[in-house]
Each structure stands twice: as C-alpha cells, then as structure tokens.
Amino acid sequence: MKAIVCEMCGGNNLLKQNGVFVCQSCGTMYSVEEARKLLVEGAVSIEGTVNVEGTVKVDETEKNKSKIENYLKMAKSAFDGQDYEGAVTYSDKVLEMDYDNYEGWTIRAKLVGMGSSLSNNKIPQSLTAAKRAVELAPDSKKSETAEELYSFIEFQIIALMNNAIRMPGVAGCSYIDGLMKLWGKVLLQIPCLSDDVINTTINKVEEMCNKSRGAFLPKDRLIHASYQAHNGRVSYDKMMRQSLAQIKTQEIRQNNDSNKYDPEFQNNVTDELKKYKDLMDEGAITEEEFNAKKEELLKLI
C-alpha cells in the first residue's frame, strides 16, 4: 500500500488542510503535486550489516531552505486568512532560521503596524522592518517591495488619522500633527520608492491641507488647525517638499567630488535651486533660509 512520507521528518501522518497536505509531526506543507512525488510503496528494509567508513555528512542547507519556504507559505496563508497570530508565529520561525530573509521582514513589517492605535502607535517599528525588507530584497524586487509596504503603512496612517479627527480639538490636533510628520518620515525613509509615488503622496497631502483650510466645521478644519498650532504654520505638504529638497541637497553634496564637472550634475543643482525658490515663494521657507541654501548649493558647482 502506498503512503505519503514527509521528506523533512520521515513521518507518514499527513492530512489535507485547505488544499495542501500538512505533516502533523513537523508542520511541513506540500502541494498536491508535491505530495504525489512523496508516495512510496510499502516499507523499505535493509537486511544484513552496512559498514560505513569515514564521516557521513548530512547537508542541512537544502533541508533548512525547504523548511523556510514552507514556513513562508504558512505565514502568507495565515495572513491572507486573517489569522494574524499564526502569521506572527510562522514569520518568526522564518527569521529565526534566516534573519536576512526579506520576505520574512516583509510580513513582519505588515504585522507590526496592524496593532496600532492612537495611544500605542507601532508604525515606527513597522517602518524599521520595512526598511530592512527593502534593503535585503533582490535588486529586481526592491521597488516592488518598497511600494507594497509603503501602501500598507500609508493605509494604516490614514486610518489612525480618521480616528484622530473624531477626537476633541486639542488632542486631535496633537495626534494629527504626529501622524502627518510620521507619514512624511515613512515616505522619505523607505528606500527605492519611485518619484511618482513620492509626488503623488505629497499632492494628496496638499489636497487634504487645502480642503481643511477651506472647511467650515471644526472637525473638518482639524488638519489646518494642527499645522497652524504645531508646525510653525507650514502646511504638511510644504514640510514634505522641504524635507525632500534637503535630502536631494545631501545627495548632491555626496556626489560632488565625482560629478563636479558633469553637466547633468550642474543641472541637478539648478533644479534644486528652483525648488527652494518655489518653497520661498510659497512661504514654506524665509528669504534668509533660501539665500543660505542658494549659497550652499552654488559652492557645489
């Protein structure tokens, strides 16, 4: 009689669960096709004596790789089925076996922030995991991973902001300010986000600020009241643009020595000057701050 034997632990107690076969001894999962390949006929016995000389080495690499892949399958399946406790358990097993597994960190980044509330905001921890996931991802997957995690975290931030808007004015303003600044941090710190994603987000924040400024009801004016009270009267979209411009300036400075005489490099400096001029015209920075940045950038050419 044929039986399915687990290649991980040698157990033969495999049950079909949710379309896959799961070893009841070690938890390894197999698709139907993989399970067919594990079918064996009867028992295998060896008679007599087998002498082995030297050292017998068992290669654990492939075995561990297979275990990690199965834990990833189980973590993703649990997450999709909203079994978040199970997803945490399996993703932790992945990272215990391979701390540099980007898929494990991707799942961790999603799970950490899901328990956030206004009084217990875990999005900073989610950001840390997201940055590590993108850094560890293969080059071909970096952009995709970055955008997937950014969208997930952005959704959580907006959900918390909707909760803050329902709160009394002073407390709501404080929470909105913290969340908007955290949103800007997430946007600018997750590596490999495209310019399109960054610009779309800032335009979205600008629309929110403009809508709030022109609103009538107090709860609808909360974002406007928040940056007036807590952000030096600078709207959050302008704050994000200013931070982005500062990052670009740092990048230009870092590339100064190797690109100083490159026309493209000089064009970048000119573009940054224009951005700071626009920020001054919008009132996000003073003329004195603009002149200081202008002097700093011109020294790079």
For residue 255, the model assigns a pLDDT of 59
- pLDDT computed for residue 40 by the predictor: 54
pLDDT, one tens digit per residue, over 70-129 is 999 999 999 999 999 999 999 999 999 999 999 999 999 999 988 899 999 999 999 999
Shortest CA distance to 284 belongs to which of 272, 292, 271, 275? 275
Please state, in angstroms and rounded to a whole number, the distance separating the CA atoms of residues 69 and 67. 5
**What sign does the CA torsion over 59, 65, 66, 71 have?**
positive
**Cα(292)–Cα(149) distance, integer angstroms:** 36
pLDDT at residue 5 above 70? yes
Instruction: State pLDDT tens for residues 247-266.
Output: 877 766 665 555 554 555 56
At 142, list the tokens: 């970096």
User: What local confidence, expressed as pLDDT, does residue 55 receive?
Assistant: 54
* pLDDT per position as a tens digit, 33-53: 777 777 754 444 444 554 555
Q: Is the model's pLDDT at 287 over the cut of 80?
A: yes
**Mean pLDDT on 207-224:** 93
Question: What are phi and psi for residue 129, nearest 5 degrees?
Answer: -65, -40
| Geometric angle at alpha carbon 174, from 284 and 156, rounded to 5° | 90
pLDDT at 191: 93
Q: Which pTM was predicted?
A: 0.69
